Chains A and B, each alone.
Chain A
Amino acid sequence: MDWEALALSVRLSLWTTGVLLVVGLPVAYWLVFARWRWKFLVEAVVALPLVLPPTVLGFYLLLAFSPRGLLGAGYVDLTGRTLAFSFEGLVIASVLYSLPFAVQPFAAAFASIDRTFLEASWSLGASRGATFVRVILPLARRGILTGMVLAFAHTLGEFGVVLMVGGNLPGVTRTVSIAIYDQVQALNYDAALRTSLLLLAVSFLVLAVTYGLQRRVTAAWPLR
């Protein structure tokens, strides 16, 4: 069993989920509440990773991450290290790749909030920012939780983008799905089977616990 790879995948997923929470909530808010005629273009860009082959996204990111690339050069100037084949590079790639998995549930939850609640909040003197924190976030909590879990689970099983951007460095970029690929390449089917089963179990567990919790959340708010 490749515990090192599993630990790395979990660490990557946690980082990605955290960054997506910080980045995805404002993006979703903007997508739902902004009035801009070209907004649909941004929506399309956010949803792109759903249909784009991971290798295509990975390839563009690899170019951007190279020390002469747009992001890579800046990162070298800032830290003296390269983004490509690093854990930080993987986090950036995962955030972009899982963006729609977080933003779409966030946005759906925001959009389903009755606008009168926002107007009530404004008329009670709460600014738009305060309304976001005190009304929108609590009312959208289930959608936010769903988005976080989907982003986490999606990152856990990520393969193509990681392979393109991160390569295969043990403890740095060798995630669990790449470990499985290596094991199969080496005809080590027993190990591949065990690791796959573990990934399957963890993914199922995360989803089951989330949906179970959401059921409890519903039960705590009796509808009349």
Chain B
Amino acid sequence: MAAPLIATFSKRYPPATVVDAELDLRHDAGPVTVLFGPSGSGKTTILRCIAGLERPDTGTIRFGDEVWCDAGRGVHVSPQARRIGVVFQQYALFPHLTVTGNIAFGCAGQRPRRLERVAAMLRLLDLQGLEHRYPSQLSGGQQQRVALARALAPEPRLLLLDEPLSALDAGVREPLRRDLRHRLAALDVPTLVVTHDRVEALALGDAMAVVVGGRVRQTGPVPEVFSRPADVVVAQTVGVETVIPGHVVERRDGLLTVTVGTSRLTTFDPGDMGSTVFVCVRAEEVILEREPSARASARNHLAGRVTGLTAEGPLVRVMLDCGFPIAALITRSAREDLDLHVGDVLTAVVKATSIHLVPRNGA
């Protein structure tokens, strides 16, 4: 088991910005933790403090039994001594060095040993044949893999990735997201990924920490954070209320049948989907019915029992148990019309196109 990263610190940016981080990453759920939050929420600052590139004003950062930072005692371990790998947002590949030169940069030892390490990294990240290229002669996806190879070559104890997919063209982002998940899951190096993209968080992370307004609001396994947000702020940030693991059991006519818990769902087939997926449903898109309608265009009719009702301004969040938990967001007047109470049995209606699937490769 990898050493846990335990960080409690704050960093001020005059006049008013404060980042308060409280992280306890033990990698129980898996090696990859996502630091998720909107732009400007302080995710990158947290990452930079962990990397040693910024100094927190107060607090401590510990990795295993090492103290990386203790602002009170003036302890600040340099980035060089932390032995971490960092993949920067724009990759920051050295433009004056070839792929080999970049990967070998952080490797220790004599030349033969370093070249051996470079060869291993080239194999690991499928970069053979590109050894003598310069970064400007590589595609975005290749640059990303070289950046990953360079960060991994010195055998880091922790890997930090800052928005690893944002520098890529939209067209290649999706296949590369799956590819990245594969590679990170296979590495078994504890990894922290910063992202503002919900789908990226779902696809890449085992666990996630939600950062809003400079504070870590919730930490936990990815599906748990999505389906049980700790507070309204987290719920608004993650956006999707229902996220449950499912299995694709049938594929026909551009539609997929996915089993979730004891239920079967029909969804639109986005293509190129593995057998293990996350099923995501926005609470706004779940319709509740008292009586199951005889004929309707919607494909999924799920009988369920109301387990909770929460008022959210003019809206009411209804939690249902349909063999798996699902959330619905309805208006207050709709609640009155349906005369909803905890324990009622209802039908939740979800259109096939309202179900969003996120592939879960390599986990």
A interface residues with partner B (beta carbon < 8 Å): 114, 116-117, 119-127, 134-135, 138-139, 221-224
Say yes or no: B94 contacts A117, CB within 8 Å: yes
Residue among B52, B136, B150 making CB contact with A222, cutoff 8 Å: B136
Residue of A120, A124, A127, A224 ringed by the most chain B CB atoms within 10 A: A124
Interface pick from B78-86, B220-228, B276-284:
B78-86
| Chain A residues near B106 (CB-CB < 8 A) | 124-126
Say yes or no: A121 contacts B134, CB within 8 Å: no
Contact sample, A vs B, 23 pairs, CB 8 Å cutoff:
A116-B88, A116-B92, A119-B51, A119-B92, A120-B86, A120-B88, A120-B94, A120-B150, A122-B53, A122-B80, A123-B82, A123-B86, A124-B105, A124-B106, A124-B154, A125-B106, A125-B108, A125-B154, A134-B105, A139-B94, A139-B95, A222-B137, A224-B137
Considering the complex, give the chain A residue whose CB is closest to the CB of B105.
A124
User: Is residue B90 contacting chain A, with contact meaning CB distance below 8 A?
Assistant: yes
A200 to B108, alpha carbons, bound, how many Å? Answer: 51
| Chain B residues near A114 (CB-CB < 8 A) | 92
B interface residues with partner A (beta carbon < 8 Å): 51-53, 78-80, 82-86, 88, 90, 92, 94-96, 105-106, 108, 134, 136-137, 150-151, 154
| Chain A residues near B82 (CB-CB < 8 A) | 123
A-B contact count (CB 8 A): 62
A85 to B113, alpha carbons, bound, how many Å? Answer: 56
Residue among A119, A126, A127 making CB contact with B105, cutoff 8 Å: A126
Report if A124-B78 is in contact (Cβ < 8 Å); known contacts: A117-B94, A135-B94, A222-B136: no
For the residues of B in contact with A, the DSSP-based class is loop
For the residues of A in contact with B, the DSSP-based class is helix
A82 to B168, alpha carbons, bound, how many Å? Answer: 65
| Chain B residues near A124 (CB-CB < 8 A) | 105-106, 150-151, 154
Considering the complex, give the chain A residue whose CB is closest to the CB of B97.
A138
A168 to B177, alpha carbons, bound, how many Å? Answer: 73
Considering the complex, give the chain A residue whose CB is closest to the CB of B86.
A123
Residue among A116, A139, A222 making CB contact with B96, cutoff 8 Å: A139
5 smallest A-B Cβ distances: which pairs? A124-B106, A116-B92, A123-B86, A120-B92, A138-B96
A120 to B106, alpha carbons, bound, how many Å? Answer: 10
| Chain B residues near A221 (CB-CB < 8 A) | 95, 134, 136
Say yes or no: B80 contacts A125, CB within 8 Å: yes
- Distance of A42 from chain B, by nearest CB (Å): 25
Considering the complex, give the chain A residue whose CB is closest to the CB of B134.
A221
A134 to B79, alpha carbons, bound, how many Å? Answer: 17
Say yes or no: A123 contacts B94, CB within 8 Å: no
A134 to B101, alpha carbons, bound, how many Å? Answer: 11
- Distance of B147 from chain A, by nearest CB (Å): 9
Residue among B51, B134, B136, B137 making CB contact with A123, cutoff 8 Å: B51
Considering the complex, give the chain B residue whose CB is closest to the CB of A117.
B92
Instruction: Given contacts A119-B92, A126-B105, A224-B137, list 15 more A-B pairs with CB under 8 A.
Output: A114-B92, A117-B92, A119-B51, A119-B53, A119-B86, A120-B88, A120-B150, A121-B105, A125-B80, A125-B83, A134-B105, A138-B96, A139-B95, A139-B96, A224-B136
